[in-house]
Structure 1
Amino acid sequence: MLDATSTPKQPERNPVPAQIDALVIGAGVAGLYQLHQLRGMGLKVHGVDTATDVGGTWYWNRYPGAKFDSEAYIYQYLFDEDLYKDWTWSERFPGQREIERWMHYVADRLDLRRDISFSTTITRATYDEDIGRWTVETDKGETIDARYLIGCTGMLSAPLEDRFPGQASFKGKIVHTARYPKEGLELEGKRVAVIGTGATGIQVIQTIAPEVEKLTVFVRTPQYVLPMKNPKYGPAEAAWYKDRFQELKSNIPRTFTGFEYDFKNKWADLSPEQRRAVLEDIHADGSLKLWLASFAEIFFDETVSEEVSEFVREKMRARLKDERLIDVLVPKPGDYGFGTHRVPLETQYLETYLRDNVEAVSVRDNPIAEIVPEGVKLQDGTVHEVDTIIMAVGFDAGSGALARIDIAGRDGVKLAEEWGKDIRTTLGLMKHGFPNLFMTGAPLAPSAALCNMTTCLQQQTEWITNCIRDLHQSGSDVIEPTQEGEDAWVRHHDETADATLIAKTNSWYTGSNVPGKPRRVLSYTGGVGTYRQKCDEMAASGYPAFAMSNASAQQQA
């Protein structure tokens, strides 16, 4: 049995085979499982990753305080009971190092590294319509001929690094949280700036405040936050969740958000006193339950949204007490509703601002103008002098990672150009005009934002695997969404999303954090269980939204 203290093996770089059945881009949660499944089908499959080892998100995001905010025992693979039970977590919400060790455990247990090329970046992929195959190029000068190209590149893996003018002029160290150095940064006794107060920024801020000389936090959009309760796990707790494997495997994939809990209360059925009791009870759980399992009406009904939002604001104000801090750090009525942005869990985050060495600087009405050699300059000319800048400024979510690869489909159509005009997919799994290109964590599926990631990534990779198997059994080797099929999914997605308050909010959920990005709710909002059902129905009915053909037979003819 392995646990959080196990030491991982060190990988070696394997060359990419010149001709394969399937190339998997990414060695995170989705990529590892996808590789395992396709290899089990007997396909010649290979994985590549820019990183030096497995982990995906949990390789790159090694900033101070990085940790789960999904309970560890549900953020796991559920396809193998022994794989699940032979790993033991140390606490409810473990940190990055422990999570990375878990992913090493998975890679070693399934013997995946022998079919992965690390330190390898895909630079270009071109579809050849005559033979129905992809020609893929790497930064190592390799060329791969693959029947299927599968992007397991992550939904938050394209960091917005070049965010402000003048960054190159800064005399100190400047890093994005998603590219935090393995060796860490020496912060003790330093003047440190953190730009951004989303989930990542919050974890950094609450962690580094005690060690730095001065911490200056630049706050643009105040966040609703929930306190985390993170008990340690001993043998009794481990036995408790491991004994629930079959229950979790059955229930988690069918809930609204892919967590173990779900919405059970209806606002209209309860009195004001009963609603308050529900909110208090769930708030005390110390998890994301208030967001994901209190009242579903918070996503649709502005009155309910405001009442629950005020409940959370009240809790935050009570902890801060200071009126100036409340003004800077607590969302105001009319800003946006609780749950329409990503909700962070935190540990004494608000109390961090009560420290003498921490300053919150509002840049809502006085934005950052540029980075200067001495530090951060605001629009009014004020310069905050610092030694280190930590950028927690987010990502080009959903579409960003694949769009940064030069991918050309039929007739040379570029994926980046297509998504630059309109963010469209079919089921968040494929894109019209790009045959045999599958994707996970992409736009218009729950995995783009509104799902416990392992839940949805397992479902998507399993669908892809079954689709390829069905394709072969039908005598075909090429599959592509039809224009009509894609139009139908986009219409359904938009009708579902536009009924929510998420669609009315500016955030990375709608792509509004990236200048020029077409606006669309990136994540399917109809629920994880519903999405799974629709994907299953698509397969069971013979893939009516897709066209299948046999390029090999046509070539021989």
Structure 2
Amino acid sequence: MLDYNPSLDVLIVGSGFAGIYQLYQLRKLGYSVHIFDSAGDTGGTWYWNCYPGARTDSAVPIYGFSIPEIWEDWTWTERFPGWKELRRYFDHVDKKLDVKKDISFDTRVVSAHWDSNSDRWIVTAENGRVARPRFLVICTGFASIPYVPNLKGLDSFEGICHHTARWPQEDVDMKDKRVGVIGTGATGVQVIQEIGKDVKHLAVFQRTPNLAIAMEQRKLSAEKHDKMKKDGLYSAIFQRRLQTATGHDRELYPKSFLDTTPEERRLHWEEAWAQGGVAFLITNYLDAGTKDEAIAEVYDFWRQKVHARVTDPVKAELLAPKIAPHPLAAKRASLEQTYYEVFNQPNVTLTDVSKYPIEEINPKGVRTADGVFHELDILVLATGFDITAGVTQMDIRGVDGTSVKEKWAEGVYSNLGMTIANFPNLFYAYGPQAPTAFSNGPTCIEIQCDWITKCIKYMMDNNLARIEPEIEAEKYWHQQIWETSKYGPWMKARGWYNNSNIPGKPFEPLNYAGGVATYAAYIEEKARKGYEGFIFSTRSATGQINRMDRKVEIEQKRH
């Protein structure tokens, strides 16, 4: 085994937005910090997600670091950049911040065990490297572990088969090939609209219609954005995104659906729809996702938009049925450009696998319950992610030897969506029980990583050995996750918002739904109160661990 810096202060797992931002903030304070990453380069999800059509669903510059030295001389070319541009962005980040010097690539963490004798984590990677940091910060995100359903005969398929989240870096040539796509979530939508024009035949296997929204993609003017920077608008945008519920620069329309006329609603929706992106969702009426009447009318508006674009009435009804499969926003919004037009092509078939399930996959293709055999050269699995596995994929064991996976087997328990009781000096960012999937990613990440940075500094400054949340604080936060979600539309659909996409997982909301601004204020208040809800420990000269009453005892020591 090869030890890495036995006196390391902080080890970070993952070098996407969260890992790099966390490294940047902690390194500024003079701490020794390093990153282990299983990938071959920086970018996190933008290293792994290189499938055809992969791009962000948050507009820039909102989707990016707020660090001025990064954005001051960077120019985006598209409103919603694709994976290639995002990779160039991360190369730019490295040039500005010199992050790669502190990253070990191709180093997959397989275990992290807490050592109570040294108050350090023993972190072991698949390649044999071992680190012993005081603090461990998991920055693997919520969509890092692909989920592949149990499809009979999948292993027998003789063609090319890949999950989108593990797409080959060298790409796959699909031109004039017979391609099947299983899954029509956000990823499926992106793949289908990208490859539809090039393949010989495209077979789409849809379980649930995607209530996709028009992206309204466009090229960006460098001159316009340079002026925005000079005029202070970039700074205003980054500050504004901290003040909204979703971490974007827009807020819900401050009016109830019930207080409007049909004409007023129609005009407001048309305006929001024309803006593209998530505007139709996040600038909707306050109760558009909770009142049955509002849910029905919003869906009908959306359905009309789809039917106007799909020429085959049978396909149109499959894509946008008369009876809504679930409320809009019950699943993560998918943004599309030409998705619905693809189904007007004669080389594209659409199978409703909720009615005609996939019976088997054999060496040559897919057979569905309607008796149709789809002969394929390539099979694309756009089947989603195991959201909690971003943390539980590693064998992380706390004070009593219990793993996080074992602890979360019957439900996720954390404090503030960043810490876990029985796991001292462990933090995670952009994972379960934070605003995560209900927010613009970089916004949530920077809020959490700033808090983690301040917490570590607080401990370093006060010679504290350990921090972990109180059990009661975890129970309270678990209750808050349910309380803020109980009326949400995502509780009326099966999917990864509520952990129901994985067989055997408990049904539970996985995101804090109180809003980014409320979350930021709440966690900051806990810090101001001496990290209320947490237990600190010191170690005496004889090696004995002593628990403290947070700030009170620290102040007494100072005086």
- Output the TM-score relative to the length of structure 2: 0.94
Does residue 251 of structure 2 align to residue 262 of structure 1? yes
- 1:424-443 equivalent positions in 2, closer than 5 A: 424-443=413-432
Residue 183 of structure 2: aligned partner: 196
What displacement does 1:270 show? 2.3
Q: Partners of 2:483 and 2:526 in 1: how far apart? A: 19
1:271 to 257, 261, 281: 261
Q: Deviations over 1:430-462 (max 9, x none)?
A: 011111110011111001x10100000011111
Match of 2:93 among 76, 99, 106: 106
Q: 2:34 — aligned with what? A: 46
User: In 2, Cα distance between the equivalents of 1:495 and 1:323?
Assistant: 41
The equivalent residue for 1:446 is 435
Aligned-pair CA distance for 1:553: 5.0
What is the DSSP-based 3-state SS (H/G/I as helix, E as strand, rest coil) of the residue aligned with 2:277?
Answer: coil
Q: By how many angstroms is 1:332 displaced? A: 4.2
Q: Report the equivalent of 2:484.
A: 496
- The amino acid that maps onto 2:319 is L
CA apart distance, 1:50: 0.5
Q: Deviations over 1:129-163 (max 9, x none)?
A: 23321111111112211111100001101101364
1:553 and 1:306, CA in 2 relative to 1: closer, same or farther beyond 3 A?
farther
Deviation at 1:76, TM superposition (A): 1.2
The offset of 1:36, in angstroms, is 1.1
Aligned-partner residue type, residue 309 of structure 2: R
Post-superposition offset of 1:345: 0.8
Report 1:123-142 matches (<5 A). 123-142=110-129
For residues 227-281 of structure 1, give each alpha carbon's deviation from its aligned partner in whole angstroms, at most 9, with x where no partner exists: 1212211233322542412211221111010011111231233222111110000
1:322 aligns with 2:312: yes
Q: Which range is displaced more, 231-240 or 421-430?
A: 231-240
Matches for 1:86-235 after TM superposition, within 5 Å: 86-161=73-148, 163-235=150-222
Residue 75 in 1 paired to residue 75 in 2? no
The CA distance in 2 between the partners of 1:165 and 1:409, in whole Å, is 38
Quick check: 2:179–2:376 contact (8 Å CA) kept in 1? yes
Asked whether the 8 Å contact 2:178–2:200 carries over to 1, the reply is yes
Q: CA-to-partner distance for each residue in 1:445-496, whole Å, 9 max, x for gaps?
A: 001x101000000111111000111122333121000001111111122111
Q: Which piece of structure 1 moves more, 467-476 or 523-532?
A: 467-476
Alignment of 1:310-459 (within 5 A): 310-397=300-387, 399-447=388-436, 449-459=437-447
Per the alignment, residue 271 of structure 2 pairs with: 281
Contact 1:130/1:551 (8 A) holds in 2? no
Cα deviations by residue, 1:283-341 (Å, 9 ceiling, x for unpaired)? 01121111122123123222211211111111111111422112221144352101111
Give the distance between the partners of 1:179 and 1:551, measured in 2 at CA.
44
Task: Give the deviation of 1:420 after TM superposition.
Answer: 1.4
Confirm whether residue 462 of structure 1 aligns to residue 450 of structure 2: yes
Which deviates more from structure 2 when the two are superposed, residues 479-488 or residues 125-134? 125-134
The equivalent of 2:49 in structure 1 is 61
Tell me whether 61-70 or 128-137 shows the greater mean CA deviation: 128-137
**Which residue type is aligned with residue 537 of structure 1?**
E
User: What is the SS of the residue equivalent to 1:257?
Assistant: coil
Instruction: Give the distance between the partners of 2:442 and 2:259, measured in 1 at CA.
Output: 33
Counterparts of 1:172 and 1:69 in 2: how far apart (Å)? Answer: 31
What letter matches 1:74 in structure 2? I
Scaled by the length of structure 1, the TM-score of the pair is 0.94
The one of 15, 18, 22 aligned to 1:34 = 22
Alpha carbons 1:23, 1:148 under 8 Å: kept = yes
* Counterpart residue type for residue 385 of structure 1: E
> Which secondary structure state, in structure 2, belongs to the residue aligned with residue 444 of structure 1?
coil
Q: Which amino acid aligns with 2:16?
A: G
| Percentage of identical aligned residues | 39
2:551 maps to which residue? Answer: none
Structure 2 gap ranges (5+): 546-559
1:271 to 1:552, Cα distance in 2 relative to 1, 3 A: farther
* Mapped pair 1:532 → 2:520: yes
Distance between the aligned counterparts of 1:552 and 1:283, measured in 2? 62
Q: Secondary structure at the match of 1:134?
A: strand
User: Equivalents in 2 of 1:49, 1:474: separation in Å?
Assistant: 31
In the comparison of the two structures, how many residue pairs are matched?
541
Partners of 1:551 and 1:161 in 2: how far apart? 46
Q: RMSD of aligned C-alpha atoms?
A: 1.6
Gapped runs of 5+ residues in structure 1?
Answer: 1-13
- Conserved in 1, the CA contact under 8 Å of 2:77 and 2:222? no
Q: Deviations over 1:172-215 (max 9, x none)?
A: 00001111111111111110001111111111101111111001
CA distance, structure 1, for counterparts of residue 466 and residue 27 of structure 2:
19
Name the CA distance, whole Å, in 1 between partners of 2:328 and 2:89.
32
CA–CA distance in 2 between the matches of 1:201 and 1:446?
24
